[in-house]
C-alpha cells in the first residue's frame, strides 16, 4: 500500500496535477496590428487559451480601445494615451514593446548622408498628423532643415511611388525596408530618426490592458509570455523566424529572410511602463501630449 501511495505521489508531482504554473485558466483575447507588433507576439499564435486577432491600420485598434471586448490591445502608445486622457478609454498601459522604427530612406544613387541633404527636397510620408509625421517634422525642425512633405494615407501606398522613381526620399519602417532590399532588390540609404532624439526614446507600440477584465492573473501570464517570446526573438532572429513562419499567412508572405533581416533593425524590446514612467512622460512631452495620471500605469 505504501508503494502504491509513493507511486501516486510521484505521478502527481511529474504532471503537476495536470497543469503548470504558467497555464491559463481562461481565454485571453488580444488584438494586434500587423507589422513588428504582430511579429513580437508571433510565438504565441495558436497557443491554448490565447486568441490573437491581427489587423491592418488603426481603425480596429481604436474601436478596441473604446470598447471592452479585448483583454489586451497592442496599439500605438500615442493612440491609447490620447483616448485615455480624453476619458474615452479605460485601458491602462502595461508595457512598451516597439521603439524607434522610423526611418528616412533614399535610393543609393541619391546623395543622403545626413538630414542636411534634405534641404529643399521633397519627402513622401504617411499618416499625416500621426506619430511618424510628428517625428519627421520634429527631426527636420531640430536640425533646421526646410523640406517639403507630401503624404499618402499609409506606408503601403508610399512604396509604389518610391519604386517607380517619383520620389527620392520617403518615410519608412520595418519590415517594409527589408522588403525593399530583399524582395525588390533595391539598393538604399537608411537614416534612423531615433538618432535625432538623443536620450529620448521613440516609443511606438504598447500593450494596453482592460482593467475591468476578470482574468487579470491570466492576462499577466500572457504578457510574461510575450516578454519571454521577445527575448527569444532578439537572441536568435533566424530560429524565431523559422518557428513563426507557418503560424500565419502574414509571416509566410513576408518570408523567412525578411523576418530575420527586419527583427534586429526594428528596435523591439520589452519595457514595463510602471518601471519607466519618466521615460514614457519624456516621450509624450516631445509629442506635446497631455500627460496621463498615475492610474494609467498598470501595476
The predicted-structure confidence for 227-263, as pLDDT tens digits, reads as follows: 999 999 999 999 999 999 999 999 999 999 999 999 9
What is the reported pLDDT for 21? 64
Q: Are 205 and 37 in contact (CB under 8 A)?
A: yes
Is the model's pLDDT at 281 over the cut of 60?
A: yes
Neighbours of 293 (CB within 10 A): 8
Q: Are 187 and 204 in contact (CB under 8 A)?
A: no
pLDDT tens sequence across 109-135: 998 999 999 999 999 999 898 889 999
DSSP summary character for residue 297: B
Is the model's pLDDT at 19 over the cut of 80?
A: no
pLDDT band at 20 (very low <50, low <70, confident <90, very high): low
Residue with cell 502574414: 250
Angle at 289 between CA 176 and CA 68, to 5 degrees: 75
Give the mean pLDDT of the chain. 92
Q: 95: number of CA atoms within 13 Å, CB side?
A: 19
pLDDT tens sequence across 24-48: 999 999 999 999 999 999 999 999 9
Cell numbers for 55, please give them.
489587423
Task: Give phi and psi for 56, each to the nearest 5.
Answer: -95, 140
What is the reported pLDDT for 57? 80
C-alpha 140/C-alpha 278 separation (Å) is 25
Task: Give phi and psi for 150, each to the nearest 5.
Answer: -115, 160
Q: Are 209 and 94 in contact (CB under 8 A)?
A: yes
Q: 255: number of CA atoms within 13 Å, CB side?
A: 8
Is the model's pLDDT at 23 over the cut of 70?
A: yes
Residue range 86-110: mean pLDDT, rounded = 96
Q: Which residue has the higher pLDDT, 171 or 5?
A: 171
What is the reported pLDDT for 197? 87
List of domains in the chain: 24-98+201-296 (3.40.190.10), 103-197 (3.40.190.10)
Amino acid at each position: 500500500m505504501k508503494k502504491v501511495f509513493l507511486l501516486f505521489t510521484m505521478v502527481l508531482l511529474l504532471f503537476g496535477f495536470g497543469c503548470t504554473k504558467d497555464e491559463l485558466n481562461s481565454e485571453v483575447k488580444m488584438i494586434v496590428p500587423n507589422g513588428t507588433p504582430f511579429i513580437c507576439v508571433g510565438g504565441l499564435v495558436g497557443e491554448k487559451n490565447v486568441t490573437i486577432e491581427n489587423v491592418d491600420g488603426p481603425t480596429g485598434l481604436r474601436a478596441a480601445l473604446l470598447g471592452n471586448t479585448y483583454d489586451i490591445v497592442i496599439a500605438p502608445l500615442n493612440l491609447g494615451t490620447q483616448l485615455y486622457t480624453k476619458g474615452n478609454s479605460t485601458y491602462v498601459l502595461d508595457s512598451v514593446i516597439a521603439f524607434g522604427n522610423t526611418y528616412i530612406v533614399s535610393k543609393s544613387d541619391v546623395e543622403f548622408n545626413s538630414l542636411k541633404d534634405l534641404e529643399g527636397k521633397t519627402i513622401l510620408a504617411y499618416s499625416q498628423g500621426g506619430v511618424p509625421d510628428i517625428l519627421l517634422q520634429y527631426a527636420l525642425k531640430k536640425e533646421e532643415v526646410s523640406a517639403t512633405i507630401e503624404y499618402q494615407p499609409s506606408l503601403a501606398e508610399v512604396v509604389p511611388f518610391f519604386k517607380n522613381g517619383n520620389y527620392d526620399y520617403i518615410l519608412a519602417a520595418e519590415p517594409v525596408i527589408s522588403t525593399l532590399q530583399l524582395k525588390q532588390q533595391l539598393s538604399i540609404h537608411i537614416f534612423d530618426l531615433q538618432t535625432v532624439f538623443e536620450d529620448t526614446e521613440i516609443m511606438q507600440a504598447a500593450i494596453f490592458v482592460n482593467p475591468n477584465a476578470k482574468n487579470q492573473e491570466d492576462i499577466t501570464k500572457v504578457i510574461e509570455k510575450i516578454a519571454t517570446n521577445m527575448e527569444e526573438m532578439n537572441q536568435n532572429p533566424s530560429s524565431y523566424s523559422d518557428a513563426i513562419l507557418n503560424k500565419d499567412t502574414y509571416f509566410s508572405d513576408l518570408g523567412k529572410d525578411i523576418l530575420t533581416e527586419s527583427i534586429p533593425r526594428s528596435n523591439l524590446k520589452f519595457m514595463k511602463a510602471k518601471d519607466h514612467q519618466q521615460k514614457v512622460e519624456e516621450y509624450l512631452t516631445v509629442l506635446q501630449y497631455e500627460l496621463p495620471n498615475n492610474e494609467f500605469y498598470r501595476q
